[in-house]
Amino acid sequence: MTEGGNHVPEESDAPGKDEVPVEEKRSEEVEEMKNGDSRVAVPEQAAEEVEFVHPEGGWGWVVMLAAMWCNGSVFGIQNAFGILFLSLLREFGSEEDDDLRFKTAWVGSLSMGMIFFCSPIVSVFTDIFGCRITAVAGAAVGMVGLLASSFVTSLGPMYFTYGIVFACGCSFAYQPSLVILGHYFKKRLGLVNGIVTAGSSAFTITLPFALSHLLEKVGLHNTMRVLCILMFVLMLAGLTYKPLLPVKSSQTRTGRRCPPLSQIFNLNIWRSLGYRIWAFGIPAALYGYFVPYVHLMKHVEERFGPEASKEVLLMCIGITSGVGRLIFGRAADYITGVNKVYLQVTSFFVIGVMSMMIPLCHVFGGLIAVCLLMGLFDGCFICIMAPIAFELVGPDDVSQAIGFLLGLMSVPMTVGPPIAGAVLCLIPWVEARRKRREKEEALGMDQDVTKKMIETEKTLEHKKAQEAAQSNTGESVL
């Protein structure tokens, strides 16, 4: 067996002087198209001939840590708003002011809602400008919004600086962190997504303690300035998002770099029946998904008293949610194709059963067990969303697939708990109406009985009068 460098092809196998091998000719044509006339776009077939192989590691581990920081800082700050909420009340008024509590709560609600409402727009920017530019710009905008919030002196501007600017920046920084993982991982995508999404659980558990300490030592405004450090590190993390998948050319025949309409509004994702069912099925399930998390604290106070350790339940959900993301993220790597959907269906089923068990728990320990299971399968639901999206639409279209799903999820996340609250508020009204109807019926029955008694008495009196008249008439005749 001869060495590859010393091998001399036979005359019949060697190409002629004027002949060029097919592969070399094709590569030369591609290079001429790239370096020559700018009006001609590179054919997509040439880019797709060589199958892309995911590195499954390497620089991808750095990207994974950066995406983990993104998830942790974005949702850690959002989930810790309850700590900032009390400080905002003290800063702008009093904790006892119910009107101020209502207005201040809208700051956090608006911020969380905007992260998901902006997702379809973020997906378009990600397709046009790439994950790195979108994430870095988003982190910069988020830092500006958070820094501006530290200088406001009234609640009104907080709606704009924190509820809109900061939240929009978080949205632009968050979504690329899910998309970029598909450039580096395929076989380990489930495990990597589990680790990344577990970052939000880790921050959610630890950040409230740090915020409480900071608020006590340096005050509200300086605490927000300290949180800007998290957003600055997030900007640096976004710089690690080096894309690997081949990018389709966006040059037009006129030479201007203008993205085609099909790239701005990607209709390929909606051609997949499986994605359409998934994209509308997930939000439908979420109408009741977040209800227990919102109304759980009030239920605990009513069932076990105000002195019950409500924070323990939230900590149980947070810890097991992080564990569930790691476990089920790894398990998803062993499930082929779209069969990962079965994991999501199982998680919804278990969470639904546990939600029905909450009113039946008359012992606080039983409620802790229910919350542990809810958190575990909550992690299952969250960590496999991105892997399922990659399976349904492929890596080229996954950005807008995730974006539109998150946008559709924002509707039940925003209106689901209020709808549940409104429905529950009907119970006293229904009960009061029932008692009033029963009272009216009882009163009506009493009136009927009284009326009958009066009529009976009148009849008896009439008969007595007739008998008396007859007896009087008989006496006069005699």
Taking only the tens place, the pLDDT of each residue in 393-428 is 888 788 888 888 888 888 777 666 556 556 656 667
Conformational region of residue 286, where left means phi above 0, alpha means psi within -120 to 50, and beta covers everything else? alpha
pLDDT at 113 over 90: no
pLDDT average, residue stretch 305-319: 79
CA separation for the pair 275, 398 (Å, rounded): 11
pTM assigned to the model:
0.68
Taking only the tens place, the pLDDT of each residue in 6-47 is 444 444 444 444 444 444 444 444 444 444 443 344 444 444
CA separation for the pair 184, 56 (Å, rounded): 6
pLDDT average, residue stretch 345-368: 88
Per-residue model confidence (pLDDT) at position 263: 63
Taking only the tens place, the pLDDT of each residue in 203-247 is 888 888 888 889 888 888 899 999 999 999 999 999 999 888 765
Calculate the CA 93 to chain-centre distance: 32
Are the CB atoms for 286 and 406 separated by under 8 Å?
no
Residues in Cβ contact with 340 at an 8 Å cutoff, skipping those fewer than 6 apart: 190, 332, 384, 387, 388, 391
CA separation for the pair 279, 404 (Å, rounded): 8
CA separation for the pair 49, 473 (Å, rounded): 127
Q: For 89-93, 274-278, 317-321, 378-382, which range has the lowest pLDDT when averaged over its residues? A: 89-93
In the chain, the percentage of residues whose pLDDT exceeds 90 is 15
- Read off the DSSP letter of residue 336: -
